[in-house]
């Protein structure tokens, strides 16, 4: 079948797809995607090795919990509940966000979490405190105690980077069997994302170096009534939920969703609340199954119409807290996309989206409406635009660090894990000093390298800012919808487009290419009113 396909369906380059695809019919696009199906012959043993490296990294990250109730400040005080356990980086980041609404000791908590994240990046975190309540740890001084007695513990050192290196080595072995895309970087961007890495880099730098960033930072500083700190890349004050206690939100989500089954049972109602017809809501929800997760959760799409997509979410003994709910709504958006463009696609080879940035876009659209689904009043307004913009500023820096790390690895294929650690920290500091230090202060922060995706999802991070860019362009388009029903109908129409190239998809969806110009212009207009 592979050879018959190769003989009858040519593989078009990205450049050819972008040019010729402007006039292709849906059937011709389906033919072109047939030509993408068999372009390499990688031995099963190498795929197995790559899979094992990824599984090991996934397991490492899934168990990377910080025992927050065992963290001490310099006075020996505990700031967090005794039983609070947060997964890095997701829950730690979200805990920083939640403390903007905490007038008592929110700032001190944020400072402490920031130090924790930097210890993780630099490998200086004591290894024994990870996922282990046996020790007390003071992140500021990096001192540790056991049963009240100070002890010296070994640092984690290179373990984080050993997983990245194992993934890289497996990737390098595959390169020899990919003649058309002979590096993991080319396969990820030109092959997977169908965007050149330089185009992605230019998009990101255009935004993070824009004058609008400094203007927005002055607005945040005014709201916070203090100088900005590195963790303010996660400033959450543009969201309406920042005025609602997280305890209140968690009480509600725990009551509503004590089990995965309870969340699954509520999915049709949530879809109807967004404007989907009862028929569409029932059908879409029927194709999604919800399961518990050890990690933060994820969405796993079906590969055929005989399967359901899976929503895996973390639910504690007391039920789903607000952090878990917020992530679950994000993953729900992924599942809805996965279902629409599989079950409603006209040609099977067009199922899916151009790249994962496009599924992230819909996940963000859903996540942004999480409070609306809980029954709170939640509007998409100027603050929403500023929130997307500030989120882009943060995740673009993280993504640039990830991209530059992989470029460094390919330039230094014989590097050790220690050399990789030093290079990654240096790259993170360099990106910070160029685009973040002038805005947020504290030179040489390494916090941009804290994302777990750098370990368990090679070069995935650029999909998030790309997703936010697309999200904004979609939200601009959705704002023209005169009702919830029209909003849901447009989601159905747009996500039936399937796996075109990114710019072709965007042209057919909203009439424009992927660009940061719309959000920069929108932010500029908003800031002039402030």
Q: Is residue 99 part of a domain?
A: yes
Tell me the C-alpha to C-alpha distance, in Å, between residue 254 and each of 244, 314, 329, 449.
Answer: 16, 12, 14, 32
Q: Is residue 195 part of a domain?
A: yes
Tell me the C-alpha to C-alpha distance, in Å, between residue 433 and each of 138, 231, 436.
Answer: 27, 15, 6
**Residues 273, 366 share a domain:** yes
pLDDT in tens, 264-295: 999 999 999 999 999 999 999 999 999 998 77
Angle between helices 106-122 and 90-98 (to 10 degrees): 160
Q: Answer yes or no: are the C-beta atoms of 435 and 209 closer than 8 Å.
A: yes
**Residues 525, 394 share a domain:** yes
**Residues 134, 162 share a domain:** no
Q: Is residue 5 part of a domain?
A: no
**Residues 525, 407 share a domain:** yes
Mean pLDDT computed over 309-324: 92
Local structure of 312: helix, strand or coil = strand
Write down the pLDDT at residue 79: 97
Task: Identify the DSSP state of 511.
Answer: S
Local structure of 251: helix, strand or coil = helix
Decide which of 342, 375, 408 is a domain's last residue: 375
- Scanning 344-462, the segments in alpha helix (DSSP H) are 356-367, 370-373, 382-411, 417-435, 437-440, 453-456
Decide which of 157, 181, 211 is a domain's last residue: 157
Domain that holds residue 322: 245-375
**Residues 324, 404 share a domain:** no
Q: Is 186 exposed, middle or buried (0-12, 13-18, 19+ CB in 10 A)?
A: middle
As for how many domains the chain has, the answer is: 3
Kindly indicate the confidence band of residue 316, based on its pLDDT and cuts at 50, 70 and 90.
confident
**Residues 405, 518 share a domain:** yes
Mean pLDDT computed over 290-308: 89
Question: Looking at the predicted structure, is the pLDDT value of residue 241 above 70?
Answer: no
**Residues 224, 268 share a domain:** no
**Residues 413, 520 share a domain:** yes
Local structure of 173: helix, strand or coil = helix
Kindly indicate the confidence band of residue 259, based on its pLDDT and cuts at 50, 70 and 90.
very high
Q: Is residue 251 part of a domain?
A: yes
Q: Is residue 235 part of a domain?
A: no
Question: Looking at the predicted structure, is the pLDDT value of residue 242 above 70?
Answer: no
**Residues 52, 192 share a domain:** yes
Residue 353's closest CA among 313, 315, 403, 301?
A: 301
Decide which of 375, 402, 426 is a domain's last residue: 375
pLDDT in tens, 390-434: 999 999 999 999 999 999 999 999 999 999 999 999 999 999 999
Q: Is residue 106 part of a domain?
A: yes
Write down the pLDDT at residue 131: 96
**Residues 194, 115 share a domain:** no
**Residues 383, 332 share a domain:** no
Q: Are strands 309-313 and 297-300 parallel, antiparallel or unpaired?
A: antiparallel
The full DSSP string for 27-55 is HHHHHHHHTTS-S----HHHHHHHHHHHH
Write down the pLDDT at residue 17: 94
Q: Is residue 252 part of a domain?
A: yes
Mean pLDDT computed over 152-167: 97
Residue 295's closest CA among 457, 126, 3, 88?
A: 88
**Residues 416, 359 share a domain:** no
Kindly indicate the confidence band of residue 381, based on its pLDDT and cuts at 50, 70 and 90.
confident
Write down the pLDDT at residue 47: 94
Write down the pLDDT at residue 214: 96
pLDDT in tens, 166-215: 999 999 999 999 988 999 999 999 999 999 999 999 999 999 999 999 99
Q: Is residue 335 part of a domain?
A: yes
Q: What are the backbone dihedrals phi and psi of residue 432, each rounded to the nearest 5 degrees, phi first?
A: -60, -50
């Amino acid at each position: 079948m592979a050879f018959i396909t190769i003989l009858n369906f040519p593989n078009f380059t990205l450049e050819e797809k972008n040019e010729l695809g402007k006039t292709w019919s849906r059937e011709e696009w389906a033919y072109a995607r047939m030509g993408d199906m068999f372009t390499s012959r990688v031995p099963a043993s190498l795929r197995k090795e790559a899979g094992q490296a990824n599984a090991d990294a996934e397991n490492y990250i899934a168990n990377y919990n910080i025992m927050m109730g065992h963290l001490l400040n310099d006075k020996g005080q505990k700031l967090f509940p005794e039983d609070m356990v947060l997964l890095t980086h997701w829950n730690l980041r979200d805990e920083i966000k939640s403390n903007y609404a905490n007038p008592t000791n929110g700032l001190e908590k944020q400072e402490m979490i920031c130090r924790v994240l930097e210890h993780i990046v630099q490998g200086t975190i004591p290894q024994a405190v990870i996922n282990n309540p046996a020790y007390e740890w003071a992140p500021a001084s990096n001192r540790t105690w056991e049963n009240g007695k100070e002890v010296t513990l070994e640092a984690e050192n290179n373990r984080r980077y050993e997983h990245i290196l194992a993934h890289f080595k497996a990737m390098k072995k595959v390169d020899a069997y990919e003649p058309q895309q002979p590096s993991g970087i080319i396969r990820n961007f030109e092959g997977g994302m169908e965007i050149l890495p330089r185009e992605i880099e230019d998009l990101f730098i255009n935004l993070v170096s824009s004058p609008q960033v400094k203007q927005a930072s002055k607005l945040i500083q005014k709201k916070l009534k203090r100088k900005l700190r590195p963790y303010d890349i996660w400033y959450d004050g543009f969201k309406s939920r920042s005025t609602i206690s997280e305890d209140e939100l968690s009480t509600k989500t725990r009551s509503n969703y004590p089990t995965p089954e309870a969340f699954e049972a509520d999915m049709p109602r949530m879809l109807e609340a967004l404007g989907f017809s009862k028929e569409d809501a029932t059908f879409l929800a029927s194709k999604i199954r919800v399961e518990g997760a050890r990690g933060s959760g994820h969405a796993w799409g079906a590969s055929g119409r005989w399967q359901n997509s899976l929503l895996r979410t973390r639910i504690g003994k007391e039920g789903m807290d607000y952090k878990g709910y917020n992530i679950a709504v994000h993953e729900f958006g992924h599942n809805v996309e996965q279902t629409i463009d599989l079950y409603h696609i006209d040609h099977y080879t067009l199922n899916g989206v151009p790249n994962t940035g496009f599924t992230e876009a819909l996940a963000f659209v859903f996540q942004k409406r999480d409070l609306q689904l809980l029954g709170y009043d939640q509007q998409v307004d100027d603050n929403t635009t500023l929130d997307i913009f500030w989120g882009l500023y943060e995740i673009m820096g993280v993504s640039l660090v990830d991209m530059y790390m992989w470029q460094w690895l390919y330039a230094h294929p014989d590097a050790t894990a220690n050399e990789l650690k030093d290079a990654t920290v240096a790259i993170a500091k360099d990106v910070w000093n160029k685009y973040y230090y002038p805005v947020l202060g504290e030179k040489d922060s390494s916090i941009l390298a804290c994302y777990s995706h750098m370990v368990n999802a090679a070069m995935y991070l650029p999909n998030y800012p790309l997703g936010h860019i697309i999200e904004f362009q979609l939200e601009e388009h959705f704002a023209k919808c005169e009702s919830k029903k029209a909003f849901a109908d447009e989601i159905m129409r747009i996500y039936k487009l399937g796996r075109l190239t990114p710019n072709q998809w965007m042209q057919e969806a909203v009439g424009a290419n992927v660009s940061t110009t719309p959000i920069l212009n929108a932010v500029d207009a908003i800031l002039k009113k402030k």
